[in-house]
Amino acid sequence: MPRIIVVTSGKGGVGKTTTSAAIAMGLAKKGHKTAVIDFDVGLRNLDLIMGCERRVVYDFVNVINGEATLNQALIRDKNCNLLYILPASQTRDKDALSQEGVGRVLDELKKDFKYIVCDSPAGIEKGAHLAMYFADDAFVVTNPEVSSVRDSDRMLGILASKSRRAEQNDEPIKEYLLLTRYSPERVKLGEMLSVDDVQDILSLHLLGVIPESKSVLNASNSGTPVILDEKSDAGQAYADIIARYLGENRPHRFIEDKKGFFRKFFGSR
């Protein structure tokens, strides 16, 4: 059965689009035909991170309005032929999205794709609600700071009460926690929340921790999902997330201070 994944958070700037691109690429690289949709109408960025901004002819709103077919708007990724991108419109208003139109596009995608990743805008406006409404799984992205975690907690309430699954009394959306921009050193100094702190507040299954890494910015600037940078900590962390989501048991890395880890075994010098 196809799965619709929403990548969401209450706060902007936490790494949702970076995560959407990495998750979609990771699933496609595992052999699953995957589509990733940008729901941020008016402020699209997914096409930049995927490196396909010059290939955008038609967009999500064109398809909803019947101005283009889905096949005309979908862009095949340059790095993986099982991955397709459906960009948002830069010139339309967020009200251009409708529940009926979004549902129709998702139903069409489900005929041909195993995974559909919805890159949600931040907050609780219309685009975010529609990205969440049809989801089967939710990847809740948060930074280890109080305001980000609090806003994510608010999104959990919406996921639980305002989704199609909630309205139809179906099995609830499966919720997973992705903790981004994590620095064990700063946790030790008391400058950010620990993994345990965040889990105590949100009570979510931890799917992965993405360390603070320059490779994320480098990947975004080059138009390449960071998961393809297999030598970087962030790329490895996203690869671990894909493996766990698909059922593999992998230990969590990047949670401990590396210096502290080695001191524990070899003693301080």
Q: What pLDDT does 130 receive?
A: 93
Q: What pLDDT does 41 receive?
A: 86
Handedness of CA 245, 236, 79, 70 (dihedral sign): positive
pTM for this entry:
0.92
Q: What pLDDT does 210 receive?
A: 96
pLDDT digits (tens, 9 = 90+) for 55-106: 999 999 999 999 999 999 999 999 999 999 999 988 776 678 899 999 999 9
pLDDT digits (tens, 9 = 90+) for 126-162: 888 999 999 999 999 999 999 999 999 989 998 999 9
Q: What pLDDT does 93 receive?
A: 66
Nearest to 84 by CA among 50, 110, 108: 50
pLDDT digits (tens, 9 = 90+) for 12-49: 889 999 999 999 999 999 999 999 999 998 778 899 99
8 A C-beta contact, residue 137 and residue 55: no
Tell me the HSE value of 34 on the side-chain side, using a 13 A CA sphere: 23
8 A C-beta contact, residue 129 and residue 159: no
